[in-house]
Amino acid sequence: MHNAAFAAAGIDGRYELLELDEAEVAGAVAAARGPDFLGLGVTAPYKPLVASLVDEVEGDAQTIGAVNNVVRTDDGRLIGFNTDAPGFQAGVELAMGHPLAGATVVVAGAGGAAHAVVFGCLAAGARRVTIANRTAASGEALAARFRGVGSGSVSAVPLDGAEVVEALGSADLAVNATTIGMIDPGSAFNVELLPPAATVFDLVYVPAETPIVANARARGLRAANGSEMLIAQAALAFERWTGVGGMAGVMRAAVGPLLADATVRA
Ligand code: NAP
């Protein structure tokens, strides 16, 4: 995506993949202070670690507790920021066909991605967010972290049980922010419990049609995988690094065929 955007923008730049052990992360971040670098993209599990290695972490990334991109300033300072939350907002609003403001949302999961999702929902004005997680304590901690963001309410329930059934029954939007569907087979929640006007948004984008998306579509619900979130967060990062916006279309054209054929690598 990024290399297609560099080419389209006529910028002599390159996005490279570094596969690092944890002990190597600090060195890679330090190297990005050099004049050849525009910045860094960061993926799980190093988003919290990189937040501790940069010179400044922007407000939303501080609140979320994770940096998924770093931009290098002209004087070599590194600023950490987060595009997962606005990327989620852009992707999910496209899927829903209307804004998140006022929505009642159920989010399955309480890991790194769920942090950006729950923050993104509350910051966009969601009315109620219910976090449903397998490990109850992580769900509770996530709800506590974001209480007070926006004017909506946020609470946590176990992934299995009566409370999640009730929450799904009145949801406008159900989000899968677990790895279920990618690594583990199956669905994080039962789409049969959702109202007919609800939207299902799965952060997983490999395989292209995850079980939960297939089930939701079979029921006639609006449903989308996480590819538009992936593209939107990347386009936002590219704009911060280069000053060139509007690259989502170029990125979609580059990544679409790859995602359509992708399978999970063990
Ligand atoms: P993570 O930090 O490892 O969190 C994983 C979450 O999944 C935890 O809440 C975990 O619950 C839950 N989980 C895992 N296996 C489960 C199972 N068998 N049953 C029930 N719950 C299970 O992962 P992450 O970084 O948040 O990523 C989550 C997913 O989002 C991944 O598939 C990733 O590819 C995707 N993602 C997509 C985008 C995008 O742009 N579309 C961006 C970021 C992430 P416990 O707390 O109980 O362990």
DSSP structure class, residue 247? -
Tens of pLDDT along 19-51?
A: 999 999 999 999 999 999 999 999 988 988 999
Predicted pLDDT of residue 184: 79
d(CA 241, CA 257): 25
Is residue 47 part of the annotated active site? The answer reads yes
- Tokens of residue 102, six digits: 């006022």
Residue 57 DSSP SS3: strand
Amino acid identity at 129: V
At 153, phi and psi to the nearest 5?
Answer: -100, 155
Which regions of the chain are under pLDDT 70?
A: 264-266
Pocket of ligand 1 from Cβ distances under 6 Å: 44, 84, 87, 109-114, 133-135, 138, 159, 177-180, 182, 184, 203-205, 226, 229-230, 233
Tens of pLDDT along 58-79?
A: 999 999 988 999 999 999 999 9
Give Cβ neighbours of residue 173 (< 8 Å, ≥ 6 apart): 92, 96, 100, 103, 104, 105, 106, 198, 199, 200, 201
- Match 């050849």 to its residue by tokens: 36
Predicted pLDDT of residue 265: 58
